[in-house]
Amino acid sequence: MAEKITRFQQLVAWQEAHKLVLEVYRVTEKYPDGEKFGLVSQMRRAAVSTPANIAEGFKRRGQRDKVHFYNIAQASLEELKYYFILSTDLNYLENHQALMAQAESVSRLMYRLMISIEQKQQGR
């Protein structure tokens, strides 16, 4: 039997989202100074929003509430994917494939998390 998850830090989706945040901070350090309050700020905000909303959703009692916050996390993740594309087109990132792959991984984990909540809701 699987260990009961009692803290958001135990969620693999949160762990992978947190890794993505750290990577976004690392790569955006190299962006032009003129982007510090523009694209860098937006990217970091979207990146941080993903694990933050996973954490908030985890603590919510109602299943609908949980899914609401997980959906917000998914939306922030999609926003971040766009910023990877934009950053590549602006020549700030050489190759966004690794970042995009990590984002896709988090997205799949989030999807499975939401499916498990919906199954619990339906009594499965």
Name the residue ranges covered by the structural domains of the chain: 36-121
pTM over 0.85? The answer is yes
Residue type for position 12 = V
Local confidence band at 2 (pLDDT 50, 70, 90 cut-offs):
low
Task: Cite the DSSP H helix spans in the chain.
Answer: 12-28, 39-59, 63-89, 97-121
The whole-number average pLDDT for the span 7-26 is 97
User: How much is the pLDDT for 119?
Assistant: 79
Direct distance between the N- and C-terminal alpha carbons of the chain, in angstroms, rounded to an integer: 16
Domain 36-121 has CATH 1.20.1440.60: yes
Query: pLDDT per residue over 64-104, tens digit each?
Result: 899 999 999 999 999 999 999 999 999 999 888 999 999 99
Tokens at residue 68, please? 């609401």
How far apart CA 122 and CA 118 sit, in angstroms, is: 6
Establish how many alpha carbons lie within 13 A of residue 42's alpha carbon, considering only the half-sphere containing its beta carbon: 12
